Structure formats: structure tokens, C-alpha cells
Amino acid sequence: MSTQPHALSRAEWNEIGELEAVRESWGLEDGESFADFAADNIYGVKFDFSSGHPGYCGDLFILQADTLNGEPFMLIRDKSGKIDLCDFG
């Protein structure tokens, strides 16, 4: 298993852009392409992640705006296979 980051595909960017919290964070309107917006404004990586506890194995996405004044978004795939925000609670 590799701990190296991978580039996000256009399909993954679009799937992430369907999340209301993500779209609101960057102020995107309905109909705006998140993948197109992200290409110039967001740093994003994906890891093939495997943790010891609580036992998540799968995609881990980290998004950072083009400023360093906020925390990055961390997302994983839920049990149904959809990308969702990490819940650390």
C-alpha cells in the first residue's frame, strides 16, 4: 500500500462539488462546474488510506483553498460509496 498522494479525477471533483457544504464554502451557484472552478482555486489530493483505528480503509480526500487561512476539507467514501465529509465526532 502506498502513502503517496494521487491526483483527483474530473469525476471525483464533480462528485465532491455535489456536496452542499463544499459548494457553500467556495460560494458556487447551482449550475457552476466545481471541477472547472477547482482547477484554478483548490488544491486537492486523494490517498488510498488505511487506518488502524477506527478502522477506515478507502479513499481519503483533502482539499485546501488557495489561501492558508482555514482548515482543509477532509472527505471519505461512506458505506454506500459516496464521498462525504469526515466526521471526527
Report the C-alpha gap between 61 and 46 in whole angstroms. 4
What pTM was estimated for this model as a whole?
0.87
Write down the domain spans for the chain.
10-85
pLDDT of res. 89: 60
> How many other CB atoms are there within 10 angstroms of residue 5's CB atom?
13
- How many residues make up the chain in this entry? 89
Alpha-carbon span 60 to 68, nearest angstrom: 20
Query: For the segment 1-14, what is each residue's pLDDT rounded down to a tens digit?
Result: 688 999 999 999 99
User: Which of 52, 48, 20, 51 has the alpha carbon at shortest distance from 34?
Assistant: 20
Residue with cell 477506527: 54
Over the stretch 11-57, which tens digit does the pLDDT of each residue have?
A: 999 999 999 999 999 999 888 899 999 999 999 999 998 887 767 78
